Structure 1
């Protein structure tokens, strides 16, 4: 799970540099210095993903990835609601609906992979 999350975040890092303009367009207006934020969060994604591989950092990196996933949700909502055309991403609810619905799953994935939570697959259930 951690390697898959690292690959996912590494792809996101690359996207931050290859599609900077599209990500800036998605960024809500209340975010200051949009371009700088987009460029800074790419390497942040990569660093946090790599941190998942370091046992001492794993838990905190998972928590920070989950927080980051929640923090970028408004950008994904803006992309969907304002019908921003950002090729090659389709402007369709067939794309946006699942993407928005999966944000909490991605946050959980980060927490579970970092062993910050064990729900719903508890590793050490106590007898009741």
Structure 2
């Protein structure tokens, strides 16, 4: 794993976390209706989680556990990506394609986070 890989992953998570606050309406529609509470609450909770994970991955002392939690987070948000693909199935082709492309993207994100965790453990 390249030395900058953890910081790139942290940057990706931080960017996503900020987006949850900068454009929350976009994320509200992805929250599965089966979750209790308001979609905006879940949008903000997931944004805070992404920012916390980014901070944890950026700090070498907390990198391994934070990266493991990031891998679990990427698995946990998969239902929102499925919901998006289902909800967008009748949208124009570029949007439909983007929503479907998100589904397999979770696999490399999970593997990347696991790799960061494994590398961080080896450095301690």
Superposition misfits of 4+ residues, deviation over 3 angstroms: none
Instruction: Supply the RMSD in Å over aligned alpha carbons.
Output: 2.4
Larger Rg over CA atoms: 1
Structure 1 unaligned regions, length at least 5: 118-122, 124-128
In 2, are the aligned partners of 1:59 and 1:114 still within 8 Å (CA)?
yes
1:57 to 2:47 alignment: no
CA distance in 1, matches of 2:82, 2:106: 11
Give the TM-score normalised by structure 1.
0.78
Give the TM-score normalised by structure 2.
0.81
Q: Alpha-carbon deviations, 1:60-114, whole Å to 9, x = none?
A: 101111111111111111111111799xxx5222x22322111011011111112
Q: Please name the residue that 1:126 is paired with.
A: none
Instruction: Tell me the number of residue pairs that the alignment of Structure 1 and Structure 2 aligns.
Output: 115
In 2, are the aligned partners of 1:63 and 1:110 still within 8 Å (CA)?
yes
CA distance in 2, matches of 1:18, 1:100: 23
1:85–1:25 CA distance, 2 compared to 1 (3 A): farther
Superposition deviation, residue 116 in structure 1:
6.5
SS at match of 2:71: helix
In 2, are the aligned partners of 1:26 and 1:84 still within 8 Å (CA)?
no
Higher helix proportion (structure 1 or 2) = 2
In 1, are the aligned partners of 2:18 and 2:47 still within 8 Å (CA)?
yes
CA distance in 1, matches of 2:10, 2:40: 23
Structure 2 unaligned regions, length at least 5: none
